[in-house]
Amino acid sequence: MAFLPPWTCVLLGCFSVSLAGASNFSDLYPPLWKKSASQFSDYRVKNGKYIIDPWVYPERMGMYKILVNKTARYFENILLDNEQNILWGLPLQNGWQYKTGRLADPRRRTDCGYDSDPLCVSVDSWWADMNYFLCALPFLAAVDSGIMGISSDQVMLLPPPKDQTKFCLNVSSCRSSFPEIMSKWNAFYQHLQYPSSTFEDLLKYLWAAHVATIDTVGKIFEDRLEYYSKAEANFGRNWCVAVDYLAASLFPTTLVRTHEFQEGLPPRMLVNGDRAPFISDFTEFQNTVLLLLSFLSQVDNFPGSFSQTIWETLMKTHFVRKQVLELSQIILEIFNPAFRGVPI
């Protein structure tokens, strides 16, 4: 097996386990999944258009639910089980953000996301704004591709209460404002419809679109990170770096894999004074993941560092990716014996 830097193996080790013997996949669904819209007719209609408010958590989650449901038939051709739909990673991330308070107003200048208005998604939240484009663009690109069963001009998203010009609201405005990203999402859906496409092929196109979205949108909302504690802001930046490595490894964003992956993410917002691996209300697994993300970001940002380039080069080989997963399973068991014997 090719030599791999130790931190890359540990990183993948934390993110590579499957859930064995899950008795009920619905237990893994994101919060309020069952109560969210499951078809376009669940949204209101005005002037022949479906009107969706992505600044209300169940309505944004409904967009993901429709997307997962509408693409199920294509994944059945590959794996005969929609639980293996690689679009699951998107709603599960949104659900984790909601559950951990990351969609709420970070400055608490409004009640958005708090007890009096718990389903509100704040436009001042960096997490919510980044997630908006990882919801709106793949959703509208799916509409544009024809797989959603409606025409491109039949959906309109409502704008946030401020900074409206930063957001696109329908297929035409998103194609105009973000043509390269929409093109990448469209390429994913195009290959999704090819009977000859393999699971790995689809992961390549999905991650290409995902990374392009984060890279572009991250520049637009960098200032939002100033609303957070230094610890949370650094975690947000570190998370973006980690996504590049996960993308290169073609991490399979299926329901089970993503659920297990998120077990290592912070269960609440980070505050000043939180320092992994010594955060008392975090699990050992969560402390370890947080520490590794910080270390990975430091290595990646070190002057003259070629860590990401090396990693991407190694991950181009199927054999190496497979070996990394097998090695990471061993490392994972060292960190958490509960995963011993769980298949990769």
| 188 and 319 assigned to the same domain | no
In a domain, 15, yes or no: no
165 and 232, same domain (yes or no): no
Note whether residue 20 is domain-resident.
no
Same domain, 296 and 206: no
Assess if residue 134 is contained within a domain. yes
Asked whether residue 302 is domain-assigned, the answer is yes
Judge if 215 and 244 occupy the same domain. Answer: no
Are residue 173 and residue 38 in the same domain, yes or no?
Answer: yes
Name the domain boundary from 200, 220, 240: 220
Q: Are residues 34 and 178 in the same domain?
A: yes
Residues 97 and 209 placed together within one structural domain of the fold = yes
Residue 247 lies in a domain: yes
Residue where a domain terminates, one of 220, 243, 272: 220
65-102 pLDDT per residue, tens: 999 999 999 887 666 568 899 999 999 999 999 999 99
Confidence check: pLDDT of 306 > 80: no
203 plus 336 within the same structural domain: no
Q: Please give the DSSP secondary-structure letter assigned to residue 160.
A: P
Last residue of a domain, one of 220, 252, 277: 220
pTM: 0.88
Quote the pLDDT of residue 6: 41
What is the arithmetic mean of pLDDT over 218-227? 97
In a domain, 12, yes or no: no
How far is the CA of 38 from the CAs of 67, 77, 117, 256, 259, in angstroms?
A: 9, 22, 23, 21, 21
Could you tell me if 108 and 203 lie in one domain? yes
Lowest mean pLDDT among 105-119, 237-251, 278-292, 300-314: 300-314
Range of the domain at 247: 228-343
Nearest partner of 83 among 263, 253, 203, 265, judged by Cα = 253
Q: How many CB atoms lie under 10 A from the CB of residue 126?
A: 23
Residues 72 and 146 in one domain: yes
> Is 50 part of a structural domain of the chain?
yes
Tell me the C-alpha distance between 32 and 60, whole Å: 11
Strand partners of residue 44: 51
In terms of pLDDT, which residue wins out, 21 or 183? Answer: 183
Same domain, 242 and 287: yes
Residues 91 and 236 in one domain: no
Task: Please state the domain count of the chain.
Answer: 2
In a domain, 4, yes or no: no
